[in-house]
């Protein structure tokens, strides 16, 4: 029979695996994004 400690350990390991997958998914969605932006500089005469 599983003890409370082993069930907690299994739940913790599963949640860490899910968090790692989510982190990797967030990385993949932003890793190849085009980061070039158009910048316009206005000259102000005082």
pLDDT tens by residue, 1-45: 579 999 999 999 999 999 999 999 999 999 988 889 898 888 887
- Number of domains into which the chain is organized: 1
Task: Enter the pTM of the model.
Answer: 0.64
- pLDDT reported for residue 1: 58
Give the Cα separation of 26 and 20 in Å (integer).
Answer: 10
Range of the domain at 24: 1-46
- pLDDT reported for residue 43: 83
Residues near 2 by beta carbon (within 8 Å), at least 6 away in sequence: 10
46 or 44: which leads in pLDDT: 44
- pLDDT reported for residue 6: 94
């Amino acid at each position: 029979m599983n003890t409370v400690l082993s069930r907690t350990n299994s739940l913790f390991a599963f949640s860490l695996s899910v968090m790692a997958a989510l982190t990797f998914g967030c990385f993949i969605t932003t890793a190849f994004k085009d980061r070039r932006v158009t910048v316009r500089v206005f000259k102000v005469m005082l």
